[in-house]
Amino acid sequence: MTTRLLFVCLGNICRSPSAENIMNHLIQQRQLGERFLCDSAGTASYHTGSSPDRRMAQAAQAQGIDLVGRARQVTAHDLAQFDYVLAMDRQNYRDLLALDPVGQYSDRVRLMCDFCRRHPDQEVPDPYYGGPEGFQYVIDLLLDACEGLLDYVLDHPVAPSR
Q: How far apart are CA 73 and CA 130, in angstroms?
A: 23
pLDDT digits (tens, 9 = 90+) for 102-136: 999 999 999 999 999 999 999 999 999 999 999 99
Q: How far apart are CA 151 and CA 124, in angstroms?
A: 19
* 159 or 37, which is more confident: 37
Chain-centroid distance, C-alpha 113: 10
pLDDT digits (tens, 9 = 90+) for 52-89: 999 999 999 999 999 999 999 999 999 999 999 999 99
Give the pLDDT score at 157: 85
SS3 29: helix
Give the pLDDT score at 159: 72
* Residue 161 clears pLDDT 60, i.e. is over it: no
* Residue 162 clears pLDDT 80, i.e. is over it: no
Write the DSSP string, 81-124: H-SEEEESSHHHHHHHHHT-TT-TTGGGEEEGGGG-SS---SS-
pLDDT category at 160 given cuts 50, 70, 90 is: low
Give the pLDDT score at 1: 85
Q: How far apart are CA 84 and CA 114, in angstroms?
A: 12
pLDDT digits (tens, 9 = 90+) for 15-53: 999 999 999 999 999 999 999 999 999 999 999 999 999
Residue 55 falls in the annotated catalytic set = no
Residue 9 falls in the annotated catalytic set = yes
- Contact of 124 with 112, CB cutoff 8 Å: yes
Mean pLDDT value across residues 92-101: 97
Q: Which residue among 15, 55, 72, 108 is the active-site one?
A: 15
Closest CA to 38 of 93, 94, 97, 78: 78
Q: Which residue among 39, 126, 144, 146 is the active-site one?
A: 126
| List of E strands, 23-63 | 36-42
pLDDT digits (tens, 9 = 90+) for 131-148: 999 999 999 999 999 999
Strands 3-9 and 109-111: unpaired
SS3 26: helix
Residue 4 falls in the annotated catalytic set = no
SS3 147: helix
